[in-house]
Chains A and B, each alone.
Chain A
Amino acid sequence: MSVAVSSRDQELIAAARRIAAEVAAPSADAVDREARFPHEAVDALREAGALSAFVPAELGGAGASFEAVAEACFELGRRCAATAMVFAMHQIQVACMVRHLDGSGWFEGYLRELAERQLLVASITSEVGTGGDMGKSVAALSGPVDGVSSFEKQAPTVSYGGHADAFLTTLRRAPEAEPGDQVLALSRRQDVELEPQGTWDPLGMRGTCSPGFVVRGRVPVEQVLAAPFATISCESMTPISHILWSHVWLGIATDAFDRARAFVRAAAKRKPGEPLPAAMRLSELMSQLSLLRAEVSLALREYGDVCDSDRAKLAEMATILRFNNLKIAASEQAPRVCQDALGVCGIVGYKNDTPFSVGRHLRDAMSGCLMVANERIHKTDASLLLIAKDV
């Protein structure tokens, strides 16, 4: 995992590694056990200026490359998956604004403020009643009255909703608009009322704190991105989400493998020269991990080849299929690696309090197939495959 070159990139990756090891790792178990937000790690990322990594330098950010942001997700994912996923999701929102602000003075000003104050941005994309299809909305912008629109949206999950400084929300353009005629609107924390729905006690990714909310928000008209959400989704939000999430999952799987390897080495030291069945399983595990690593790395490179130079390519069905396949493959392979690591470590992997514990890794990795359900993506892909040519 080393593709980034510039000094800004190296600084970001070094900061992510340091924060992962010194801040995120020591609190990862507590964050998981208590299902609490990883405050200390996110604060450390703020102090390092990492929340504006993707904001261009002329707007006060680090102007880091997409590859470096992806590698930072991987490094954090190796130590605390919840911290890594919060970081990844925030960067996705920033990337959507950076890539689609389309000369908007308001959004340029907002990104400057985000860099200066290290604001954390969450997204409100999922919605009750859409069957998990992000390309449809029930909630709509209404108004505007005196230049301010409003909305109410039933969101089944809002990751770190209670901890974010602002929200990017998908909404129908107007009350009479079709479900697929969506825009992306930014609301500041003080303009949003979050009414909690239910509790947050999930299997994994517990530190992302993603309960449901009824969201009531106000959006001054200049805070709506001009591009249709359909464009933002295929050129940025969907491929970037799939790539950054996959880097988080690869980080989780890599640490599970590292723990299995540490277990085997410790066993080999105890009984030098004796046959070690777990060593064979470790070798099999490595080949599983290498498949995951190859898919994640290749997708990153392919996105890098077109993300700035050929945006039209990102809208093509063959490209949409390609990054959908990344998401499906990585979200299925990462828990497989974690489960096989558990097979290598046995009971000391199953217990939650040993250096070889991989239960948290397995639970965290299992969230992948639900983040935009793989079934929903397969349904989309099945349709695209009927018409796309060279896939």
Chain B
Amino acid sequence: MKEQIRQVISEHGQLSVPIETLADDADLYQAGMTSHASVNVMIALEDSFDLEFLDSMLKRSVFESVDSIAAALAEVRSAAV
């Protein structure tokens, strides 16, 4: 799952450094992801994983690292079961 997340971030996150150089818990905003780019990441994640985030998850902190995104995706999936 994390590889797929990293793929989406590298395509849409507009980071100022390659995603490969970042740890799973690294702050993506500090790596240059803007608010605008983060929305594109969210849309692409929904598309790539074929799910929808809940409104309560649509906030900056949920998308600040690969780890936090993975946790959010897991939460959506478990809620859908």
Contact = CB atoms under 8 A, between A and B. Distances in A.
A313 B59 CA distance: 9
A290 interface: no
A390 B55 contact: yes
B52 A389 contact: yes
Contacts of A315: 59-61
B35 A135 contact: yes
Residue of A177, A231, A317 contacting most chain B CB atoms (<10 Å): A317
A390 B56 CA distance: 10
A6 interface: no
Contact of B30 (A178, A383, A387): A178
B31 interface: yes
B44 to A, nearest CB: 10
B60 A388 contact: no
A1 to B, nearest CB: 31
B39 A386 contact: yes
Interface in B43-59: 43, 46, 52-56, 58-59
Contacts of A234: 59-60
A312 interface: yes
Contact of A386 (B29, B32, B43, B54): B43
A181 B55 contact: no
A380 B35 contact: yes
A312 B59 contact: yes
Contacts of A390: 55
B58 A389 contact: yes
Interface in A297-348: 312-313, 315-318
A389 B56 CA distance: 10
A230 B52 contact: no
Interface string A367-384: 000000000000010011
Contacts of B61: 231, 315
B16 to A, nearest CB: 7
Q: How many of chain A's residues touch chain B, expressed as a range?
A: 20 to 34
B17 to A, nearest CB: 10
B29 A388 contact: no
A177 B29 CA distance: 10
A309 to B, nearest CB: 15
B62 to A, nearest CB: 9
A180 interface: yes
Nearest to A389: B55
B53 A387 contact: yes
A178 B37 CA distance: 14
A383 B39 CA distance: 7
B29 A181 contact: yes
B64 to A, nearest CB: 9
Interface string A172-210: 000001111100000000000000000000000000000
A387 B58 contact: yes
A315 B58 CA distance: 8
Contacts of B5: none
Contacts of A177: 30
A389 B77 CA distance: 17
Contacts of B53: 387, 389
B35 A389 contact: no
A178 B16 contact: yes
B58 A383 contact: no
Contacts of A316: 55-56, 58-59
A383 B29 contact: no
Given A386-B43, A387-B43, A389-B58, 19 more contacts: A178-B30, A178-B32, A179-B34, A180-B29, A231-B60, A312-B59, A313-B56, A315-B59, A316-B55, A317-B55, A380-B35, A383-B36, A383-B39, A387-B39, A387-B42, A387-B58, A388-B58, A389-B53, A390-B55
27 contacts: A135-B34, A178-B16, A178-B30, A179-B34, A180-B34, A181-B29, A230-B29, A234-B59, A313-B56, A315-B59, A315-B60, A315-B61, A316-B56, A316-B58, A318-B55, A383-B36, A384-B39, A386-B39, A386-B43, A387-B39, A387-B42, A387-B43, A387-B46, A387-B58, A388-B58, A389-B54, A389-B55
Interface of B: 16, 29-36, 39, 42-43, 46, 52-56, 58-61
Task: Please list the 10 inter-chain residue pairs (A to B) with the smallest Cβ-Cβ separation, ordered nearest first.
Answer: A315-B59, A317-B58, A178-B32, A387-B42, A318-B55, A383-B39, A389-B55, A316-B59, A181-B30, A387-B39
